[in-house]
């Protein structure tokens, strides 16, 4: 046990600069070549000692965040406690800034944050590998929320190889009204690809090279998201957002993960500011946020 009475962990959002999706596996998941980039929009998870497990949340759209044990942060505390034979008695407070159900791994960030916060609060001293294995049990994107930076995710996205990135990339994120359910987007992907021989997902060498070189122009030419057609099919209005961002001078735009957030790569910080302003005024999204990536993963404050 430590003598800390509260631990706060800051965890970033992610954008997928490449999301290559294979056919559905027998377990219902899809094999991926998933190039994750952690970006500077953050949730903060604070763990405090309590008589029993409790979750609270503040921030935009937290009326859509479950506060019971179905919250991934609560499940993270329970899994860690079970491994160490202790009671998961903790109050987890989530201060959310990552769009809820937005395709930016907000729920995964909260799970990784809760895990690291509880580990520090309880003094369980879990190894990095143990934490990563609990993350993988919690969800496909949770291991990346822990490590941050940039990484290639294979398997269902949980088998990570860190990637070198040669510079900051400047992004604008257009936040949509309402969320999209990730399982629903994968189901739509399956529907759109029924009868199609979906190729094995592979990371693009050109994309990995552009990341390594820190070359935004080159990266813009190879951004790709295999879930984009499915997200657009469920939310056709995103096409107008994508058009507005590119018309405002973004190098390229794509749907972030399973959406509905859209992500725009800009040439530099100044261009990102211009694109954000134009998107905010375009009436095609609720809000536009600028963020730089890569940034570190879950960090104790």
Which of 301, 188, 163, 166 is closest to 255 using CA atoms?
Answer: 188
Per-residue tokens: 105: 């791994």
267 catalytically annotated: no
Q: Please, which residue, 140 or 225, has the CB nearer to ligand C5P? A: 140
Q: Give me the residues that bind ligand C5P (CB under 6 A), please.
A: 28-30, 32, 139-141, 156-157, 182-183, 186
Per-residue tokens: 86: 């202790």
Q: Please, which residue, 32 or 263, has the CB nearer to ligand C5P? A: 32
Q: Please, which residue, 25 or 49, has the CB nearer to ligand C5P? A: 25
CB 186 to ligand C5P: min, Å: 4
**Active-site choice (43, 110, 119, 141):** 141
Which of 136, 234, 254 is closest to 184 using CA atoms?
Answer: 234
Which of 134, 165, 130, 133 is closest to 148 using CA atoms?
Answer: 165
Per-residue tokens: 24: 């559905």
CB 107 to ligand C5P: min, Å: 8
Which of 37, 113, 44, 54 is closest to 265 using CA atoms?
Answer: 37
Q: Please, which residue, 115 or 278, has the CB nearer to ligand C5P? A: 115
**Active-site choice (14, 31, 96, 119):** 14
CB 196 to ligand C5P: min, Å: 16
Per-residue tokens: 231: 């997200």
Q: How does 60-95 read in b/e, with b if 16+ C-beta sit within 10 Å?
A: ebeeebebeeebbbbbbbbbbbeeeeeebebbbbbb
CB 72 to ligand C5P: min, Å: 8
89 catalytically annotated: no
| Catalytic annotation, residues | 14, 141
């Amino acid at each position: 046990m430590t003598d800390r009475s509260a631990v706060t962990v800051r965890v970033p959002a992610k954008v997928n600069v490449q999301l290559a999706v294979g056919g559905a596996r027998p377990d219902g998941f899809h094999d991926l070549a998933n190039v994750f980039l952690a970006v500077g929009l953050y949730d903060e998870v604070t763990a405090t000692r309590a008589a029993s497990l409790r979750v609270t949340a503040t921030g935009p759209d937290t009326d859509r965040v479950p506060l019971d044990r179905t919250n991934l942060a609560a499940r993270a505390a329970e899994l860690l406690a079970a491994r160490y034979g202790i009671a998961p008695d903790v109050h987890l407070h989530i201060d959310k800034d990552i769009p809820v159900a937005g395709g930016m791994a907000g729920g995964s960030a909260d799970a990784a944050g809760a895990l690291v916060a509880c580990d520090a609060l309880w003094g369980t001293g879990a190894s990095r590998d143990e934490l990563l294995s609990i993350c993988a049990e919690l969800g496909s994107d949770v291991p990346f929320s822990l490590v941050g930076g940039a990484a290639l995710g294979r398997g269902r996205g949980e088998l990570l190889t860190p990637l070198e990135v040669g510079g900051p990339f400047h992004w604008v994120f257009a936040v949509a009204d309402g969320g999209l359910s990730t399982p629903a987007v994968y189901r739509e992907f399956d529907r759109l690809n029924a009868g199609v021989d979906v190729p094995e997902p592979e990371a693009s060498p050109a994309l990995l090279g552009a990341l390594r070189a820190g070359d935004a122009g080159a990266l813009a030419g190879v951004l790709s998201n295999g879930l984009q057609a499915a997200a657009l099919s469920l939310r056709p209005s995103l096409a107008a957002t994508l058009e507005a961002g590119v018309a405002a001078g973004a190098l390229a735009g794509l749907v972030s993960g399973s959406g509905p957030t859209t992500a725009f790569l800009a040439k530099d910080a100044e261009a990102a500011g211009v694109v954000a302003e134009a998107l905010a005024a375009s009436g095609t999204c609720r809000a536009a946020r600028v963020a730089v990536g890569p940034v570190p993963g879950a960090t104790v404050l």
